């Protein structure tokens, strides 16, 4: 979407929905994108910090709130999700990670600042993701045994708690690839394991040999490490504000819970643990508890 059409679609809404109510809070609707600020590209891509606006299922919507008082961060909610608030270009933006299961259409963010609450709408566009059919030789990894299900259910409770972590500061505004190599599966593929439909692919697979170092793509804090039934040896990094990255199928893990990591630090190595057909890194980007396309935080050079 071009910046101009983005403006007309969203700035008008702000004018209607927010101006009257937040009129005393220094709203500057005409200055919304007038200053290049965090967005210094002229290729039509709208970016705030490292995040690229691509409002589709599995994408990120960057929704301007019109609130310009940097000292008062708004509280932002979408359905039951808490959203990150980012300050750039002289105003606060809502950063919305959109689940792959979301239907295209109009969505509403609830914005609270001080004792005022307003609703701002944004549009989610259609996306099309290809099908992918994978043959797994270990049938138990496709149709787990009852004992496996007990383990999987416990793990999903733990994963849900990890994904709900929302710390206060964004620790990094620049991301790089954790491993470079051939992409064997892109984000969002509609997957069939041994011809049975399963959840869509919530990350990117990078095919590299076992033992290849994996680096932290940005500064962060390790919030979970462990061995999971499907994901194998895994690491979660919290980058702040509900922004997380996740690494699966690792051979070795070089970090522990609570460790602080800097961009470029080795967190472990590529492997083939869990449900895999060969050695690769599965890399996911989490936003407000959902998986979105990790390429939306990578700037192409």
Q: Which residues sit at the interface with Zn ion, rule CB under 5 A?
A: 203, 205, 282
Count of Cβ atoms closer than 10 Å to residue 195 Cβ? 9
**CA–CA gap between residue 13 and residue 2 (Å, rounded):** 17
Instruction: Answer for the pair 288, 242: CB distance below 8 angstroms, yes or no.
Output: yes
Q: Closer to Zn ion at the Cβ: 170 or 204?
A: 204
CB of 203 to Zn ion, least distance (A): 5
For residue 151, give every residue at least 6 positions away whose Cβ sits within 8 Å of its Cβ, in sequence order, or none: 229
Nearer to Zn ion, 259 or 272 (CB): 272
Q: To the nearest whole angstrom, how small is the minimum distance from the Cβ of residue 189 to Zn ion?
A: 9
Shortest Cβ 47–Zn ion spacing (Å) = 25
Nearer to Zn ion, 104 or 136 (CB): 136
For Zn ion, the closer CB: 82 or 229? 229
| CA dihedral angle for residue 285, residue 156, residue 190, residue 48, rounded to 10 degrees | -20
Nearer to Zn ion, 50 or 232 (CB): 232
Q: CB of 144: closest distance to Zn ion in angstroms?
A: 18
- Find the shortest distance in angstroms from Cβ 186 to Zn ion: 10
User: To the nearest whole angstrom, how small is the minimum distance from the Cβ of residue 185 to Zn ion?
Assistant: 5
CA distances from 50 to 87, 174, 256 (A): 12, 6, 26
For 59, the 3-state DSSP assignment is coil
* Four-residue CA torsion sign, 184, 201, 285, 154: negative
Residue 81 and residue 94 in contact, taking contact as beta carbons nearer than 8 Å: no
- Least separation in angstroms between residue 37's CB and Zn ion is 35
Looking at the Cβ atoms of 54 and 191, the one nearer to Zn ion is 191
The residue with its CB nearest to Zn ion is 282
Which residue, 199, 268, 205, is CA-closest to 237? 268
How far is 83 from 132, CA to CA, in rounded Å?
31
Q: Which is nearer to Zn ion, 78 or 193 (CB)?
A: 193
CB atoms within 10 A of CB 18: 22
């Amino acid at each position: 979407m071009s910046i101009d059409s983005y403006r007309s679609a969203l700035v008008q809404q702000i004018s209607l929905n927010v101006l009257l109510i937040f009129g005393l809070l220094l709203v500057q609707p005409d200055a919304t994108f007038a200053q290049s600020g965090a967005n210094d590209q002229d290729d039509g891509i709208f970016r705030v910090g490292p995040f690229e606006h691509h409002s589709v299922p599995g994408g990120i919507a960057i929704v301007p709130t019109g609130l310009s008082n940097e000292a008062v961060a708004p509280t932002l909610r979408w359905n039951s999700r808490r959203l990150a608030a980012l300050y750039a270009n002289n105003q606060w933006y809502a950063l919305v990670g959109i689940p792959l299961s979301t239907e295209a259409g109009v969505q509403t963010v609830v914005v609270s600042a001080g004792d005022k609450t307003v609703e701002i709408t944004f549009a989610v566009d259609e996306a099309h993701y290809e099908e992918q059919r994978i043959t797994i030789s270990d049938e138990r990894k496709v149709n787990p045994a009852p004992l496996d299900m007990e383990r999987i259910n416990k793990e999903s409770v733990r994963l849900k708690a990890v994904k709900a972590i929302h710390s206060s500061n964004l620790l990094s505004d620049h991301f790089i690839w954790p491993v470079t190599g051939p992409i064997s599966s892109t984000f969002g593929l509609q997957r069939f394991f041994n011809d049975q439909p399963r959840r869509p692919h919530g990350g990117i697979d990078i095919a590299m040999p076992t033992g290849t170092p994996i680096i932290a793509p940005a500064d962060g804090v390790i919030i979970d490490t462990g061995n999971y039934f499907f994901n194998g040896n895994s690491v979660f990094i919290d980058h702040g504000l509900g922004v997380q990255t996740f690494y699966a199928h690792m051979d070795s893990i070089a970090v522990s819970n609570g460790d602080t990591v800097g961009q470029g630090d080795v967190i472990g190595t590529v492997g083939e643990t869990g449900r895999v057909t060969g050695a690769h890194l599965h890399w996911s980007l989490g936003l407000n508890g959902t998986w979105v396309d990790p390429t939306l935080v990578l700037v192409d050079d």
